[in-house]
């Protein structure tokens, strides 16, 4: 945990914070260098998030043949997939399997070993190979744009962490300062691609650094806010989801308290499944074959269920709009979980943030269709909101980030804060107990 407030404004040439591994004093880098490093990391992470989003939109529009005149705005991805022909859906997903299988197999075979953000934070002296990291991120963006059911948030986090580490090295920061900058870069990448500056900062503190020191708080806020602002100059300042429920009824508090453990238990099963799938991946001839089979199967399913391709934003919006029937919700939950397992087991990479939110929102919508009659003041949108937040918080082990993320995603009224917190708390504690 970072101590005191030496990172941002203390310019004492004899820094009393010692490196616990070597028991030596950590040399001070000067507050001017530290602030310059923060600003550069925020700017670069914001630019990277913006470019990743533009590339994602361009490939989506090209793959499914919609809104090709504009990368920003136009029809939503779900509408584009729905309007595409059955052959185009299958072809795009099958092609994604070819790109994923050969891309990640060649990367594992011939490139330097990838260093994850978590590994880079544990050992700041361990370099993140630029070619491997950027190619790994590019493959995620391309496959998600072509219909992979995984999330796009891992790519900007990895690129942001890479920029943070490179900036720290070139400016000459010490190990403690470098670790902070790597985490801020990763959080800023998340903030930029989804326009969630506060959630990006809390993700940096809660998940990556596990600290609330003043240094870390200010650094995370500065980099994430700057990154989100830079990305918004091109991508706009729109929210990710349209959520129109005005205020939270009292019955939602009761439902949130009762349903939290259910979502937590479901999230614990989901975590076991994803961990098991990733543990079985082998970087050999199986990867190209298994990836093609997995994505081709997803392409066949997409002929009847256009809601399956993509990271799950479409099903979440359907749940928030009350446009999900009982059979559709049940089928989408099962098929979404199956498709995620297939592509992870085949060796494809991607995030689980938006897929987890989608599964939770669909579960919430399903619960509303089953028991909503006992909560007359509730709506499907409200049940989907609490379910999505609870499942996301538990499956990703980030309760505070999940609450703030839903707040920035939807612009919900503050009255939803209490039921969301209760549902997230119950789900998170249940998931931790199950594990």
Instruction: Give 24: exposed, middle or buried? Use CB within 10 Å, 0-12, 13-18, 19+.
Output: exposed
Q: Does residue 401 belong to any structural domain of this protein? A: yes
Q: Using the predicted structure, report yes or no on whether residue 14 has a pLDDT greater than 50.
A: no
Domain presence at residue 305: yes
Q: What angle do CA 426, 429, 431 make, to 5 degrees?
A: 105
Same domain flag for 183 and 103: yes
Query: Is the pLDDT score of 202 beyond 70?
Result: yes
In a domain, 7, yes or no: no
Q: What is the pLDDT of residue 13?
A: 43
DSSP string, 135-160: HHHHHHHHHHHTT-SSBSTHHHHHHH
Domain at 320, CATH number: 1.10.3080.10
Q: Are residues 265 and 152 in the same domain?
A: no
Split into its structural domains, the chain has a count of: 2
CA-nearest of 120, 274, 127 to 186 is: 120
In a domain, 96, yes or no: yes
User: Domain for residue 10, yes or no?
Assistant: no
- What sign for the dihedral angle of Cα 348, 196, 398, 125? positive
Residues 198 and 285 in one domain: no
Q: Which residues, 6 or more positions from 303, have their beta carbon under 8 angstroms from its beta carbon?
A: 86, 89, 90
Q: Is 224 found in the same domain as 360?
A: no
Q: What is the mean pLDDT of residues 398-406?
A: 96
- When pLDDT is averaged across residues 408-414 and rounded to a whole number, the result is 93
**DSSP element (H, E) containing 19:** strand 18-19
What's the pLDDT score for residue 7? 54
Q: How confident is the model at residue 28 (pLDDT cuts 50, 70, 90)?
A: low
Q: Tell me, yes or no, whether 227 and 254 share the same domain.
A: no
Answer with the one of 209, 235, 261 that is the final residue of a domain: 235
Q: Give tens-digit pLDDT for 267-291.
A: 999 999 999 999 998 888 889 999 9
Tokens representing 343 are: 């592509």
Confidence of residue 22 (pLDDT cuts 50, 70, 90): very low
Question: Looking at the domain assignment, is residue 3 inside a domain?
Answer: no
Same structural domain, 220 and 333 = no
Quick: pLDDT tens for 204-222. Answer: 999 999 988 888 999 999 9
pLDDT of residue 238: 83
Shared domain for 212 and 132, answered yes or no, is yes
Q: Given 235, 262, 278, which residue is the final one in a domain?
A: 235
Whether residue 58 lies inside any domain: the answer is: yes
373: Cβ contacts below 8 Å, ≥ 6 apart: none
The arithmetic mean of pLDDT across residues 80-86, rounded, is 94
Residue 338 clears pLDDT 50, i.e. is over it: yes
> Is 38 within the bounds of a domain?
yes
Q: Are residues 188 and 323 in the same domain?
A: no
pLDDT at 15 (0 to 100): 46
pLDDT on residue 71:
76
pLDDT in tens, 242-260: 998 889 999 999 999 999 9
Q: Are residues 141 and 257 located together in one domain of the fold?
A: no
Q: For residue range 114-134, what is the model confidence (pLDDT) as tens digits?
A: 999 999 999 999 999 999 999
Domain match, 230 and 280 both: no
Task: Among 182, 203, 235, give the residue marking a domain's end.
Answer: 235
pLDDT(12) > 70: no
Clarify whether residues 266 and 220 are in a common domain.
no
Is 18 in a helix, a strand, or coil? strand
Owning domain of residue 398 = 250-434
74 has pLDDT over 90: no
For 284-322, write each residue's pLDDT tens digit: 888 999 999 999 999 999 999 999 999 999 999 999 999
Average pLDDT of span 345-354: 94
Same domain, 217 and 259: no
Average pLDDT over residues 221-229: 97
Render pLDDT for 142-195 as a digit per residue (tens, 0 to 9): 999 999 999 999 999 999 999 999 999 999 889 999 999 999 999 999 999 999
Write down the pLDDT at residue 212. 86
Give me the half-sphere count of Cα atoms (radius 13 Å) on the Cβ side of residue 275. 9
Model confidence, pTM? 0.92
On average, the pLDDT of the chain sits at: 91
pLDDT of residue 393: 97
């Amino acid at each position: 945990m970072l101590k005191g407030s030496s990172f941002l404004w203390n310019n004492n040439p004899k820094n009393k914070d010692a490196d616990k591994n070597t028991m030596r004093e950590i040399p001070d880098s000067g507050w001017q260098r530290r602030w310059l490093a923060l600003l550069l990391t925020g700017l670069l992470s914001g630019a990277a998030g913006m470019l990743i989003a533009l590339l994602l939109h361009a490939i989506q529009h090209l793959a499914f043949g919609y809104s090709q005149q504009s990368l920003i705005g136009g029809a939503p991805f779900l509408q584009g997939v729905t309007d595409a022909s059955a052959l185009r859906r299958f072809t795009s997903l099958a092609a994604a399997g070819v790109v994923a299988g050969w891309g990640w197999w060649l990367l594992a075979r011939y490139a330097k070993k990838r260093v994850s953000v978590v590994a880079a934070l544990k050992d700041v002296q361990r370099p993140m190979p630029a070619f491997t990291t950027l190619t790994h991120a590019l493959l995620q963006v391309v496959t998600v744009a072509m219909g992979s059911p995984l999330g796009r948030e891992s790519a900007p986090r990895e690129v942001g962490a890479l920029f943070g580490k490179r900036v720290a090295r070139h400016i000459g920061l010490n190990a403690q300062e470098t670790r902070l900058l790597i985490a801020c870069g990763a959080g800023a990448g998340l903030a930029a691609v989804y326009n969630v500056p506060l959630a990006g900062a809390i993700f940096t503190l809660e998940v990556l650094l596990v600290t609330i020191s003043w240094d870390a708080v200010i650094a995370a806020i500065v980099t994430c806010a700057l990154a989100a602002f830079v990305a918004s100059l091109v991508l706009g300042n729109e929210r990710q989801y349209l959520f129109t429920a005005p205020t939270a009824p009292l019955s939602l508090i009761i439902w949130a308290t009762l349903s939290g453990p259910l979502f937590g238990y479901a999230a614990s099963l989901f975590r076991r499944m994803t961990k098991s799938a990733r543990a079985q991946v082998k970087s050999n001839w199986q990867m190209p074959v298994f990836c093609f089979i997995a994505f081709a199967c997803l392409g066949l399913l997409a002929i009847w269920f256009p809601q399956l391709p993509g990271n799950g934003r479409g099903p979440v919006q359907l749940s928030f709009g009350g446009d999900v029937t009982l059979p559709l919700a049940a089928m989408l939950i099962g098929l979404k979980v199956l498709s995620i397992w297939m592509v992870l087991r085949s060796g494809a990479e991607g995030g689980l943030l938006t897929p987890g939110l989608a599964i939770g929102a669909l579960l919430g919508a399903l619960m509303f269709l089953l028991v909503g009659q006992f909560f007359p003041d509730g709506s499907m949108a409200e049940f989907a909101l609490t379910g999505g937040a609870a499942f996301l918080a538990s499956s990703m082990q980030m309760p505070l980030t999940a609450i703030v993320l839903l707040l920035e995603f939807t612009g919900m009224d503050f009255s939803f804060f209490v039921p969301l917190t209760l549902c997230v708390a119950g789900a998170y504690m249940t998931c931790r107990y199950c594990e």
